[in-house]
Structure 1
Amino acid sequence: MPKDEPEKPPCKEEGQGDPDKERNTAESPESCDRSMRKRVRQRTPSPHRGNTPQSSPPRFVSVEELMETAKGVTNMALAHEIVVNGGFQVTPSQLAEGSLEKMVKDIVHKAFWDCLEAQLNEDPPSYDHAIKVLGEIKETLLSFILPGHGRLRHQIEEALDLALIQQQAENRALDISKVASFIIDTMGMLCAPCRDEEIQKLRDITATVPLFKAIFTVMDMMKIDMANFAVSSIRPHLMQQSVEYERKKFQEFLNKQPNAMDFTQKWLQDTANALLNGEWESGASSAAASAPILSMLHPLTVHNHAYLHLLKWDHTSCPFPETLLMDQRRIQEMQWELEELTIVAAVLLIVYNNAGAAISGLPGLMERLKSIVRLLLADRHSPSFIVDEAFATIAERMCVEVGGSLAQHGFSPFSNDRQSNLKGQITAVKLPDNSIRKLIDMRIQTFLLGILESSQLRCAAALPGGLAPIQKELEEVAIKFGRLVNYNKLVFAPHYQKILQDILREGACPIPDTTHAGEIDS
């Protein structure tokens, strides 16, 4: 049978290290502020350069070097995904319905099984094709055997001796059902418990060709199970080794492409510019705005704000930092989820401010309202999503739910004027510059910044007011974001250290070594 190769279990890779420690400096805030501003102005690109980073002269490399580098980056991406994504699993590839690849695959498979059935229906039956099928099944069963299972390996080799089966077929003494029964029994011993039901179904199939087709289907499932078992087995090893491995592979890539960190440098430079120009004062760093400028421009402060900026990134027009390219999609998904949670919290704040004590503390109401809003926002990033219609529906549903709860608990229903006012406030949340939405967004940013800072201070970040309805979801995003940030710091600490030194050098402020600070939670 033509093989549909499953995704192979990831091979074991190497690597692990550490990032981030803070140290106070003796320079006065005023002098450090002046020198830093001068340094930032010197490093800001001229207007005619636009946003294009300055690159080192390209070095010509051979095709072989590029191919080897690509292979290394692919392996690095796989190891990175396994470590950062705690829920990573190998899944079977699915060809799109109607695609040329699927059409070709279906035609080839049908021809294969039709040929097998035609041979078995001959008089006397021909087993040439069937023996090839048994050979492939034997090879697959042996691939499931662990090194210490010598006895089972011997049993498979003996029961599926292709030379002996060939002789039996030539002498019309082959009992194909007996061979199939042995295969099913062996699969039952080797499969995961979740496949017991599929194994039992195989025993109920009597026709030879449908049975072998079903055997291959279950074997493909077992291959995926084995791959995921391998992933779970190597994850602890990768957690210890992948930092050094990724750092090494990225350095190899950097050696061949010296300008491969231009956008990373611009990302950190722009963050320093924003902090110095006070552009963060209305956002996440408002709590730190009154702190001395020297404290604000500690390298870790710049670094943490830079990561926070990724959650506001314009992915359509701004090149992403090279050191985070493997996580761009993951960060964008967090960004979308945070945008949704911002809207949810803003809508609920409006509802409870309007309804007051009448609905405060009613069991289940908050969760029901939250579920409705999230459901109506679920397709926010699909082309078919119509913003005005969605928010009008949200406003209508909130009024219905609140009105029903008020009536159920003996309170006076909302007047038409109050309903109209509530709907107007809710529909206004669709605008990014809506004051309530901006307030919730600022508090979320403050909370996430606190998460990044608390990972270094070993303390819990306080939840700002108004975020209680989304606390569970927000903390889940914060944990994923914090883990990703800390891991990225561990891998690229030496590179970030150098870039931040260059950015802040003119400030005459000692730059603490962040190479061995911070850690990632497993």
Structure 2
Amino acid sequence: MEKTGSGFYIIDAFSLRQTSRKPFHLEKRFLRNTSLNSSSQNSTTSLEEAGVKREALLEARREKLNRRFLAVQKAVKEVEARKESQRLLFWESLQVAELKRNHRIEQRRAASKELVERAKIVARQNILRYEAEQERLRDALENRLKQSHARRLHMLNQPKSRILITGTTTAARATANTNRRTKKRKQQDSMNKHHQREQEQYQHHVQQGQEELHVQEATKVKKRKASWSALLSAFRKLGLPLVSMPETWLQFNHLGRLLRNKRVIHVTSKILNMLLNVIDKDSRRRSRVLLSAYMMTMCPREVFQTMHGSEEQQLLASAKRVLQLFEEIVHSQGGQPNSATKLAFEQCWNGYYALFQSWKSNDMTQLVANMSAYCIELMRLKKTLGKQGEEDGINDQLNQQILQVKDRIRGIGGAPALEQLNESEAALSQSSEVAATTRIASPGPSSVPPSPTPRPERSSTHEEPPSISTEQLNRLLGGYAPVSGITNQQLAHEIIIDPNFKLQRPTVDEKPKTLEQHVQKIATQAFFDAVEDDISNGRSENSLPGLMGDIRQRLLGLVRSGSSLHIQISEAIDISLIEQETKQKVFDLERKLQYVLHVMRQICAPVRDEAIEKIGEMDNNIHQLRAILEMLDDMALDLGNFRLRSLRPHLIPVAVEYEQSKFAESLAKGKVGLAKARSWLQTAKKRLIDVANERNPEDVPSSSPSTNAIFEEGFISLLTSPEIISASWCPETMLLDVERITRYQNEMQSITIVAALVMLARNFGHVDNINEFSAKLFIMLEDDATTIDNLSLEIERNVRMIDEQRRSMIRAMVDKTVSHSDTVYSLLMRRVASVVRTQLNSGKFATREVLASYGLECVRKSLEQLCERVMVLGRHHFLVYSRWYDEILIDDN
């Protein structure tokens, strides 16, 4: 209850409310309504269930539509991805097509350029030929006019009434006689008429003879001029290059084939005979001498061994002068050359011919001497082999070679050289007979044939005498140089550059491939057969003392002098005692060999124990001797390699000074020069300056390249050169590393080829394992039997290619890559050179990102190993020869 402001109270009657009852007469109606309400409630519940089912159905449809939408989206993405893949494949195909198009255009451009140059040369030759023909016609017309004028003058100079006057005088005289002697007989008149007739005939014959003489002289002049013009025309058609036009010069092989042409020699000899006014049997030889001037002028590097000699320079200058005069004569527009021109050419020709014969005689003498020495060696080898060579068929081959060498000596040196060779052969036969007689008369150790294995004491004569201040180093290296067959300087250089350097014995193949190897094998077998024959026939004193002395010297060389083992070996293997025992037939070879094997077990390396045990198990003493000699060679190499490894730490501090002193000594003695090194550095410097000028269009002043930069440029140019480095043209400072640089060149080319082939394979498809594929390509490139088809099949197998069109395309591109004519190969070679240059300059190898951008990630391992070796060689080389490089560059500035 609440009280309002007006004083009223509000009572909440909600709690007092009650439901009234229904009237009875309406109760049934309300009962009906109640049932209707219950039924309506039931129907409401059914609708709700239907609504729930509808929502569930709609949800299921939504989910199904959603799934279908997602599937459609996925299909759309797959189609787009497929289109993108096709687009990329099409783009890659366009790139390949563009590369092929550019290459084809470049080929056609080069071919067109060659055709244009050739057309220019042909056009120039045609112009010269046309001018010569016009000049010939003009000369012929002038000659005809001169002959006509001469005939006219001759006719004008003849007396017109000579015949008439003669006839009139005779008639008058006859008439006077008739008047004075009218009574003379008619026979006198007939005699006078006969006399008149004879005089007329005589005058007619004299006149006809004079005319014939003039005609003959004119004909001779005409023929001489026509012959000279024909010779000049024929010479111009030969196509010889012009000395005054270097663009017409040919390469060595093409020029040699042209100059050996018989027509060229014949026409040149005819022209030379007319210029020198001589005709004899030596005309063709003079023609060859003149044509040799073309070779000297246009290909001097191939003709001369050295171009810096005074004799070669004089001969080259004389050859150029002769050719210049010769070309002025044969290409002149007038007729035959006058006497002054002929005299000048003859004087120049005489000087050139004398210089050529002097130069040729020097080479001919040296060549004949070398060939004679080679022939004598073949004769000695034939006598050494004896019956063994006849049985194996070697003597027939040696006889054939001896005959061929004699024929060449006869062709080069003539009869005197052959007579000298015959005298040497007779002296050789006489010395062999004397030696055989001496052996039969007094057999002894002196008749022992030489051992087939190399001995240090024999090859020590070839050692270069030490001549530097580092005496200890010279003494240490001097013991190994004879064994290795190289000089002290080369040995020290190899130890520094290659830490794994080892002295090795030349390998002997079971099946010799060359005649020399076959002969060496037969000679070795013949030596031991002779030893076995001596032992079996009771003549062991002829062979065994010498062999045991050889074994004794080798064993003593493997132990320290003055040691107890050294003394023991010297006493146990007493050569004088062995000689006496063999003469008395009491020498026990088996016991002595067992002692030798016992000593070898004590001093050998552990890796040789098994081999020595196998030698001890042999049942043939001759086979044991041979195996012992070979094993002693191997043990000497083992000891030498051990000492070299111990020497290397002591050699490193003085290696640079040692090589500098040896090179300075060679320069002082004139054994080497610096001409090639100077040219090499000048070329590298010019390349650097040209690159700097291209990058500096504003011409901003800049410093000249440093010596180190010039050396790096020249060194990299040697490694990337398509021409294999040779001692004939490489810098003098690189002579010790010619073979090593050749190996580096081959490795760089192999790396570039493999990278190019991998890039090619990627362009044509997907490669599963790039590293394995690259390794296989390296192995295939090392095999000489690998062909273009093998490389193409390997690429097809890795990219799973079966399309014939693409297969032919792959083979063509592999062929271009291997032949170094592809632009991709050139690009990759420049990138490889850039990586090597970076390593040489900074000492750090390129990162993986750089290699990946260069397309060289697949050859990373091989390229890194090569860069390390190149860096060691380049830096050591610059340390040794930098002072001479500085002097060369300072002099050029």
TM-score by length of 1: 0.68
- Give 2:454's aligned residue: 5
* 2:884 pairs with one of 495, 498, 515: 495
* 1:130 pairs with one of 536, 544, 547: 544
Q: Is the 8 A contact 2:549 2:575 kept in 1?
A: yes
* 1:107 pairs with one of 526, 529, 532: 526
Query: Residue 485 and residue 153 in structure 1: after superposition, are their counterparts in 2 closer, same or farther (change >3 A)?
Result: same
Query: Residue 15 and residue 421 in structure 1: after superposition, are their counterparts in 2 closer, same or farther (change >3 A)?
Result: farther
- Give 2:823's aligned residue: 435
The Cα of 1:379 is off from its aligned counterpart by: 5.5
Query: Residue 15 and residue 449 in structure 1: after superposition, are their counterparts in 2 closer, same or farther (change >3 A)?
Result: farther
Mapped pair 1:331 → 2:750: no
SS of equivalent residue, structure 2 residue 688: helix
Larger Rg: 2
Query: Residue 374 and residue 290 in structure 1: after superposition, are their counterparts in 2 closer, same or farther (change >3 A)?
Result: farther
- Give 2:764's aligned residue: 354
Q: Is the 8 A contact 2:750 2:778 kept in 1?
A: yes
- Give 1:143's aligned residue: 557
Query: Residue 499 and residue 180 in structure 1: after superposition, are their counterparts in 2 closer, same or farther (change >3 A)?
Result: same
Aligned-partner residue type, residue 347 of structure 1: L
* 1:116 pairs with one of 532, 535, 539: 535
Aligned-partner residue type, residue 610 of structure 2: E
Alignment of 1:254-403 (within 5 A): 254-257=667-670, 260-278=673-691, 294=702, 297-313=705-721, 314-315=723-724, 319-356=729-766, 359=767, 362=768, 365-378=769-782, 390-403=787-800
Give the whole-Å Cα distance in 2 for the aligned partners of 1:424 and 1:91. 43
Identity of aligned residues (%): 25
Deviations along 1:412-439, one digit per CA (max 9) or x if unpaired, are x776666565555444424534232222
Query: Residue 494 and residue 236 in structure 1: after superposition, are their counterparts in 2 closer, same or farther (change >3 A)?
Result: same
SS of equivalent residue, structure 2 residue 771: helix
The Cα of 1:321 is off from its aligned counterpart by: 0.7
Q: Is the 8 A contact 1:15 1:240 kept in 2?
A: no
Q: Is the 8 A contact 1:82 1:88 kept in 2?
A: yes
CA RMSD of aligned residues (A): 3.7
Q: Is the 8 A contact 1:76 1:246 kept in 2?
A: yes
Give the whole-Å Cα distance in 2 for the aligned partners of 1:460 and 1:391. 32
* 1:91 pairs with one of 479, 504, 507: 504
Q: Is the 8 A contact 1:296 1:302 kept in 2?
A: no
Query: Residue 214 and residue 435 in structure 1: after superposition, are their counterparts in 2 closer, same or farther (change >3 A)?
Result: closer
SS of equivalent residue, structure 2 residue 619: coil
Query: Residue 443 and residue 192 in structure 1: after superposition, are their counterparts in 2 closer, same or farther (change >3 A)?
Result: same
The Cα of 1:265 is off from its aligned counterpart by: 0.9
Mapped pair 1:206 → 2:603: no
Q: Is the 8 A contact 1:6 1:223 kept in 2?
A: no
Give the whole-Å Cα distance in 2 for the aligned partners of 1:280 and 1:426. 37
The Cα of 1:291 is off from its aligned counterpart by: 13
Unaligned segments of structure 1, at least 5 residues: 17-72, 121-125, 404-412, 506-522
The Cα of 1:489 is off from its aligned counterpart by: 0.7
Q: Is the 8 A contact 2:792 2:814 kept in 1?
A: yes
- Give 1:69's aligned residue: none
* 1:448 pairs with one of 836, 841, 862: 836
Q: Which moved more, 1:270-279 or 1:243-252?
A: 270-279
Query: Residue 342 and residue 179 in structure 1: after superposition, are their counterparts in 2 closer, same or farther (change >3 A)?
Result: same
Give the whole-Å Cα distance in 2 for the aligned partners of 1:298 and 1:291. 19
Deviations along 1:6-43, one digit per CA (max 9) or x if unpaired, are 56799998789xxxxxxxxxxxxxxxxxxxxxxxxxxx
Alignment of 1:141-180 (within 5 A): 141-147=555-561, 150-163=563-576, 175-180=588-593
Give the whole-Å Cα distance in 2 for the aligned partners of 1:280 and 1:94. 54
Give the whole-Å Cα distance in 1 for the aligned partners of 2:692 and 2:822. 19
The Cα of 1:348 is off from its aligned counterpart by: 0.5
Mapped pair 1:219 → 2:627: no
Deviations along 1:196-220, one digit per CA (max 9) or x if unpaired, are 1221012212343333233223222
- Give 2:187's aligned residue: none
The Cα of 1:107 is off from its aligned counterpart by: 3.4
Give the whole-Å Cα distance in 2 for the aligned partners of 1:437 and 1:472. 19
The Cα of 1:500 is off from its aligned counterpart by: 2.4
- Give 1:467's aligned residue: 856
SS of equivalent residue, structure 1 residue 119: coil
Q: Which moved more, 1:268-277 or 1:347-356?
A: 347-356
Aligned-partner residue type, residue 75 of structure 1: N
TM-score by length of 2: 0.42
Deviations along 1:433-452, one digit per CA (max 9) or x if unpaired, are 42322221121111011011
Deviations along 1:33-82, one digit per CA (max 9) or x if unpaired, are xxxxxxxxxxxxxxxxxxxxxxxxxxxxxxxxxxxxxxxx9432232233
Aligned-partner residue type, residue 475 of structure 1: E
SS of equivalent residue, structure 2 residue 618: coil
Q: Is the 8 A contact 2:725 2:741 kept in 1?
A: no
- Between Structure 1 and Structure 2, how many residues are aligned? 412
Q: Which moved more, 1:482-491 or 1:391-400?
A: 391-400
Aligned-partner residue type, residue 182 of structure 1: Y
Query: Residue 11 and residue 181 in structure 1: after superposition, are their counterparts in 2 closer, same or farther (change >3 A)?
Result: farther
Query: Residue 138 and residue 419 in structure 1: after superposition, are their counterparts in 2 closer, same or farther (change >3 A)?
Result: closer
The Cα of 1:274 is off from its aligned counterpart by: 1.2
Query: Residue 310 and residue 291 in structure 1: after superposition, are their counterparts in 2 closer, same or farther (change >3 A)?
Result: farther
Q: Is the 8 A contact 2:715 2:874 kept in 1?
A: yes
Give the whole-Å Cα distance in 1 for the aligned partners of 2:503 and 2:528. 24
Aligned-partner residue type, residue 239 of structure 1: I
Query: Residue 117 and residue 141 in structure 1: after superposition, are their counterparts in 2 closer, same or farther (change >3 A)?
Result: farther
Mapped pair 1:480 → 2:869: yes
Alignment of 1:175-186 (within 5 A): 175-186=588-599
Give the whole-Å Cα distance in 1 for the aligned partners of 2:643 and 2:867. 29
- Give 2:291's aligned residue: none
Aligned-partner residue type, residue 146 of structure 1: R
Give the whole-Å Cα distance in 1 for the aligned partners of 2:533 and 2:653. 51
SS of equivalent residue, structure 2 residue 526: helix
Query: Residue 199 and residue 262 in structure 1: after superposition, are their counterparts in 2 closer, same or farther (change >3 A)?
Result: same
The Cα of 1:106 is off from its aligned counterpart by: 4.2
SS of equivalent residue, structure 2 residue 840: helix
Q: Is the 8 A contact 2:764 2:799 kept in 1?
A: no
Aligned-partner residue type, residue 454 of structure 1: S
The Cα of 1:339 is off from its aligned counterpart by: 1.1
Greater helix percent: which structure? 2
Give the whole-Å Cα distance in 2 for the aligned partners of 1:270 and 1:118. 71
Give the whole-Å Cα distance in 2 for the aligned partners of 1:476 and 1:300. 23
Q: Is the 8 A contact 1:348 1:370 kept in 2?
A: yes
Q: Is the 8 A contact 1:15 1:246 kept in 2?
A: no
* 1:240 pairs with one of 650, 653, 658: 653
Q: Is the 8 A contact 1:263 1:320 kept in 2?
A: yes
Q: Is the 8 A contact 1:202 1:215 kept in 2?
A: yes
The Cα of 1:191 is off from its aligned counterpart by: 1.4
The Cα of 1:173 is off from its aligned counterpart by: 6.3
